[in-house]
Structure 1
Amino acid sequence: MKFYDRVQELEILREIEAMSAESAQMTMMVGRRRVGKTTLLRNAFIATPVLYFFIGRKNEILLCEEFTEEIEAKLGETFGRFSSFAQLFKVLMQLSKRKNFTLIIDEFQEFRNISRSLFSDMQNIWDANKEESRINLVICGSIYSMMKQIFENSKEPLYGRATARMHIHPFEISTLKAILTDNYPDYKPEDLLAFYLLTGGVAKYIEQLVIRKAFTKEKILKAVLSPGSYFLEEGKDVLIEEFGRDYNNYFSILALIASSKTARGDIESTLNMPIGGYLDKLENEYNIIRRVRPFMAKEGSRNNKYRIVDNFLQFWFRFIYKYRSAVEIGNLDYVRQIVERDYETYSGYVLEKYFRQLLAESKSYSDVQSYWDRKGENEIDIIAVNDFEKRLLIGEVRRNRERINLHILENKAAEIVKKYTDYQIEYQGFSLEDLETGKPKPSRSVKHT
């Protein structure tokens, strides 16, 4: 698959590369597994020689042997053998005083399993050499919680050492459309929704579908729910290392959230256990869920819901993990029937998320949320506000355009509108048909001030 997008990220990385010609740079890059960090880094640097070190789970001496071969091939320097990475890193920092180059260390968090003292050693070596160094050091990791701990915990040696931080996110909707257009220009709105629903813009998942030429809803679901599918074990592969021994409780919570039990009380009553600590870690350490409040709710509001951030993980917990017994005995036809049965309702939820994301990516609003009252009723799918221009967009999302009723929407929003008397209000309907347009078209709009 060709390299897509990442224009802003490339610009930032190349600016950092240019600065490294004058002073040492340390960039910490994080992003979920499969999002495309390594591909981005391999395409980013054009002005310096690039060393790429992948930290696999193997003996430290063997890793150093691999890295010395890379140094000799890329920099033409020979240093002999090393028994520890700290020794090798010290030599590279000294070399960077006379030679400007880029060093990428991928899956950096794996050093925790190889050499616990390395982070302290790197801190001392960096501090002792950085003033004269011209290294462009990029430290990349995919275990979000570990990378955050290493670089953002004030008790850790490398705290405060990074000169730049980058969080790599999945592709935006415009890029998904470009990929589909390049590979299957006759795609329908239902195909685009399925493509978004399954991949969420994660580069590796997109690549898997491109390889299989799965660009229609039917082919996408078949690619996911077929014997030997790459996707069947993917949720475990991505998360078990994050969660460790306690993964069963985390998985149970995520499965309930994926099945629409999104309030803390509902989850606790189902599992019969307190989950506050788990929810806090899932949100703040692992970056897997997000606590959302209804529009206008105050910071301390208890009227919260939890949502899984990642589209694929949402689908995986809703259909693959939930029906894992059928998956394990190879009865994927059964799972496929469940998906087909629930698809219209489930994809309707994803459609709401699609349009909220599309409005956020348009850069036309300062906030994009949804709304529900304390009883969990009177729901409004989209409320987008532009406080600078004093505009408020209130939207209803339905797969079927005929089911959109803006008069009912106006009634639902009456109490909200009373608090925005000096704003221009627009009521807008969004349907499956509107996925194809650059900007969703209203079913009917009503504006007043």
Structure 2
Amino acid sequence: MTFYNRVEELNALASAFESPNADFVVVYGRRRVGKTELVKEFCNERPHIYFLAAQEAENRQREKFVEQIANYFDDRVPRIDGWDDAFGYLAEKLHTEDLVVVIDEFPYLISENDSIPSYLQGFFDEHLQETDSMLILCGSSVSTMESEVLGHESPLYGRRTAQLDVQPFSFKQAREVIGYDAVDAVRSYAITGGTPMYLTLFDYRQSLRENVQSQVLSPTAVLYNEPEFLLRTELRSPARYMSILEAIALGHTTPNEISGATGINSGPLSKYLQTLRRLRLIEREVPVTASGKKSKRSRYGVADEFLRFWFRYVEPNRSSIEEAPAIVYDGTIAPDLPTHVATTFESVCQEVVWEAIRRGEFEPYSEVGRWWYKEDEIDIVGLAPNKDRILLAECKWTSEPVGDALVESLRAKAENVRWGQSDREERFALFSKSGFVENLEEDLPETWSLFTLEDIDTMFSPEQDSHP
């Protein structure tokens, strides 16, 4: 498989490795996000020991760990009775050669022995610091990594020299992988999201319809049961969590709506929502002008495009998919897909705003997000740091060019956004899949910026990265 992107992450690891002292790096992030591939790419041309923990008995894990060390040094496997001896053996070897030592899926070790972080603390304090080696702990259970490795209560707290919270690819990063034209690229991203494994499963020589049928709607395909697998690896009883995710994916976004759709009372529901947020499967959103913690106008969204697609179209239609996947695609998915993609397009347009700020094409905005109040909603609102300027933007994934009606609608809604100074400067932007009616741009003042899908695609093309 081709390794894509992750330039910043690789540079961070390389800088740490080249520093004169020992390094302890924590790499974590959701499953399938590409942590293992990142670490292996980094280790590729460097002396290293890579150990992948598994869900098996502690003594067998320890034996395998010691075997990995012995094999690297062409040594006879010693008899080891405990983890302190195992790390002592590693320390002895690191005094002879500087290495990168990777322990992948570290939470599996902790689940068998919660004293492992204490043993590692001793190893770091007494041995690793005397070398020029690097220890990398890698894990997919974000909650375990944050509490047992990075948390204040962890014996390892304060010892890390670097940490990488590996995120899914943005649309700009995913665009390098997606081999479609601009329209199908956004549609495809709305299905796979930015998870590298999902992106690379699609064969971009085939149509989007063919890819969805073969990679998502086929009962033998990896992605057909993927969300259920992900939930079962994190949760003992995922049924209620799945019903919540399905409700949110189908448009029930407030706690009251989710409760009504699932039949789960508000008390237990808040705990389920908290767990799903901790697992990074859903996001809580409040209007960009509101205080995140205090606002009662919260909405929830599925945090991953693929999971949103799966819970919207696959989970509710499993029986039909087993019988006739083509009919499900043509009759259920295809007619509704523009609605699904419209939400993704808003996220892509937010990326455009940040990219334009980075390039100096837009003035700086410290916060960018959605805004809503009662019946009014604006897709993107940007708030300037000193509250003297505001950006208001709409994103349209429609088959018709955008015209004056949207301009007047946005101007009217702008008056209802209570934020900043009374004489604030108002900037506007429109993003449109199908472009704009003739002469619209010429008729608007300079405070308006218009972006076609081609403009967006050009902005995210690789050659644009050299732009100052």
Match of 1:33 in 2: 31
Q: How does 1:270-419 map to 2 (within 5 A)?
A: 270=261, 271-274=263-266, 275-283=269-277, 285-299=278-292, 300-327=294-321, 329-336=322-329, 337-364=331-358, 365-373=365-373, 375=374, 377-387=375-385, 391-400=389-398, 401-403=400-402, 405-416=406-417, 419=420
Q: What is the aligned counterpart of 2:252 among 237, 261, 286?
A: 261
Q: How does 1:130-209 map to 2 (within 5 A)?
A: 130-180=128-178, 184=179, 187-209=180-202
Report whether the alignment pairs 1:425 with 2:419: no
Q: Secondary structure at the match of 2:287?
A: coil
Match of 1:250 in 2: 241
**Separation of aligned partners in 2, 1:436 and 1:220:** 24
Q: Secondary structure at the match of 1:38?
A: helix
TM-score scaled by length of structure 1: 0.87
Q: Secondary structure at the match of 1:397?
A: strand
CA contact (8 A) 1:34 1:203 kept: yes
- Amino acid in the other structure paired with 1:415: N
Match of 1:445 in 2: none
CA displacement 1:389-413 (0-9 Å, x = unmatched): 9543211111125245111111011
Count of aligned pairs between the two proteins: 427
CA contact (8 A) 1:71 1:78 kept: no
Q: Secondary structure at the match of 2:223?
A: coil
Q: Secondary structure at the match of 1:298?
A: coil
How far 1:151 sits from its partner (Å)? 1.8
How far 1:282 sits from its partner (Å)? 1.9
**Structure 1 residues 435, 420: closer, same or farther in 2, change over 3 A?**
farther
Unaligned runs of 5+ in 2: 359-364, 435-451, 460-468
Unaligned runs of 5+ in 1: 442-449
CA displacement 1:5-46 (0-9 Å, x = unmatched): 111111100111112xx4322111111111111111111147
**Separation of aligned partners in 2, 1:330 and 1:113:** 40
How far 1:440 sits from its partner (Å)? 8.5
% identity of equivalent residues: 28
**Separation of aligned partners in 2, 1:358 and 1:200:** 17
How far 1:289 sits from its partner (Å)? 1.6
Q: Secondary structure at the match of 2:222?
A: coil
- Amino acid in the other structure paired with 2:246: A
TM-score scaled by length of structure 2: 0.83
CA displacement 1:333-370 (0-9 Å, x = unmatched): 45323212311211112211221233235554422111
Q: Secondary structure at the match of 1:103?
A: strand
CA displacement 1:128-157 (0-9 Å, x = unmatched): 324323330000011112222212443333
Q: Secondary structure at the match of 2:272?
A: helix
How far 1:439 sits from its partner (Å)? 7.1
How far 1:231 sits from its partner (Å)? 0.7
CA contact (8 A) 1:28 1:140 kept: yes
**Separation of aligned partners in 2, 1:422 and 1:92:** 65
**Separation of aligned partners in 2, 1:147 and 1:346:** 33
Q: Secondary structure at the match of 2:231?
A: helix
**Structure 1 residues 100, 32: closer, same or farther in 2, change over 3 A?**
same
- Amino acid in the other structure paired with 1:287: R
**Structure 1 residues 44, 390: closer, same or farther in 2, change over 3 A?**
farther
Match of 1:234 in 2: 226
Q: How does 1:206-221 map to 2 (within 5 A)?
A: 206-209=199-202, 212-213=203-204, 216-221=207-212
Which stretch has the larger CA shift, 111-120 or 251-260? 111-120
**Separation of aligned partners in 2, 1:323 and 1:330:** 10
How far 1:64 sits from its partner (Å)? 4.1
Report whether the alignment pairs 1:110 with 2:102: no
Report the aligned-residue RMSD.
2.6
**Separation of aligned partners in 1, 2:206 and 2:428:** 33
- Amino acid in the other structure paired with 1:74: Y
Q: Secondary structure at the match of 2:297?
A: coil
CA contact (8 A) 1:17 1:45 kept: no
- Amino acid in the other structure paired with 2:153: K
